[in-house]
Amino acid sequence: MSAIWEEVPRDENLIKHLQEIAKDTALLHGVLMRTKESPNSPEVVSYAPFTLFPTRVPRTVFNQALAVQTHFNRLVDQVSQDPAFLEETLASTIKVDDFTARLFSIYREVRRESQLQKVVLGLNRSDYMLDQSPDGRTSLKQIEINTIAASFGGLASRTPDVHRHILKVANQLEERNQILDNNPAEGLVRGLAKAWELYGSERAVVMFLVEEVQRNIYDHRYVENELWKKNIPVIRRQFEDVCRTGSLDQSRKLFVDGREIAVVYFRNGYMPQNYTSEQSWDARLMMERSLAVKCPDISTHLAGTKKVQQELARPGVLERFFPDEPETVAQIRATFAGLYTLDMGEEGDKTVAMALANPDRYVLKPQREGGGNNIYGQEICEVLEKLKDSRERSAYILMDKIQPIPVQNYLLRPGDPIRLKSCLSELGVFGAYVRKGKDMLFNECVGHLLRTKSSEYADGGVAAGVAVLDNPLLF
């Protein structure tokens, strides 16, 4: 049996002492967010929320998540290159989900034109929870894969040293030595830098397309600063800036504020409210039509939808993308939870009946990113009772609800008193790849992210104010 702790320390005096040190240490190491009250001001910052102690994670499932990531990178890329699959898979969804339909109309318009940009950059994050079966076995189950604006690669690069210092002060030296090195920001930058290099113009810039509210700016800044160290210039712009000053020249090079854009890195554009006007949609189309490398391009954005995730879990579908790789298929499929269609027809009707009979066993998911969108418990019944005879139900998929084992930890969040809570954790694994034409030039797992939240919350991430940053303590 490992000597790594079975439960976190509980001595009240120690906890009171450690929390002050922990908050200062987070600030010293740059684990920062802007405040809700002044989200766009660099004058007022606080620590990003995090756990006082790292959380125990089984080594076998952690290594499994890392090992499968390069396969998921390839899968996303293969899906993005299969127009027949995307058309067929999303046909029902785009009839009832306006947001996905708008994205798909851009995809179709771009496909009608000649494919000018042969460089594809993917920076994604595959998220998992640990499922506890009735017989006591723990297994890794994928929640989703984020193909656009996968966040916290920057801050996750800074949290290991915070927990190392806390554990040293707490005299938990064995646990301190178990904290893993982790630098996803550096890996994400390698992907961005390779795409910039392949674009082939030293004067062209990487443009971060960002939201108006900038609370999580320091997560971006770590990536930006690493690019600047490589002498790769970076600008930050919003949709409105691209609308106002963006243009394509005759060869379809993209210019914004007079700067040639080599790479558009979307840290915005994944939710309907990100598009505040028709001009926002026009700007997205212009960027997609341009020679700039898009991260993600529109087809890769669509490859990350929940409906695609559900379709990939069908028997025989993975083999379409990996026809001669049964071991790859087995590795990917082992991470799938049960996923069910709600399309009109007999199969969808069975899914509705199944959900209504046992709503607590499932999660109802719309085609949305950003956290806080999923539907649980009795609310599933309320939604499906309204939609069960309507094709509007096709805007959702149903997924088995993961049954993780709660752990005990202290969550440090500005303004909240610290107390021991029952918590649930979610493991994210970052992937980066670059393809030019048919050649995959770069395909790596570049790091991990552990987020933990109080088990009283069903849904929501760090940016949504529910989960906090964490580190895995392997056993």
Catalytic residues: 125, 144, 146, 151, 306, 365, 369-370, 451
For 194, residues 6+ apart whose C-beta sits below 8 A from its C-beta are 121, 434, 441, 442
Structure tokens at 275: 């598009």
39 close to 210: Cβ distance less than 8 angstroms: no
CB atoms within 10 A of CB 377: 15
End-to-end CA distance of the chain: 9
- Dist. CA 324–CA 316, nearest whole Å: 13
- 99: nearest Cα among 376, 263, 242, 306: 306
- Dist. CA 104–CA 329, nearest whole Å: 27
- The phi and psi torsions of 322 (rounded to 5 degrees) equal -130, 65
- Dist. CA 471–CA 450, nearest whole Å: 6
- Dist. CA 475–CA 464, nearest whole Å: 30
- Dist. CA 304–CA 124, nearest whole Å: 9
* 357 exposure class (CB count in 10 Å sphere: 0-12, 13-18, 19+): exposed
Q: What is the DSSP pairing of strand 234-237 with strand 205-209?
A: parallel
For residue 257, the 8-state DSSP code is: T
- One-character DSSP codes across 354-387: HHHH-GGGEEEEES--SSS--EETHHHHHHHHHH
- Dist. CA 429–CA 63, nearest whole Å: 10
66 close to 445: Cβ distance less than 8 angstroms: yes
- 385: nearest Cα among 359, 365, 346, 363: 359
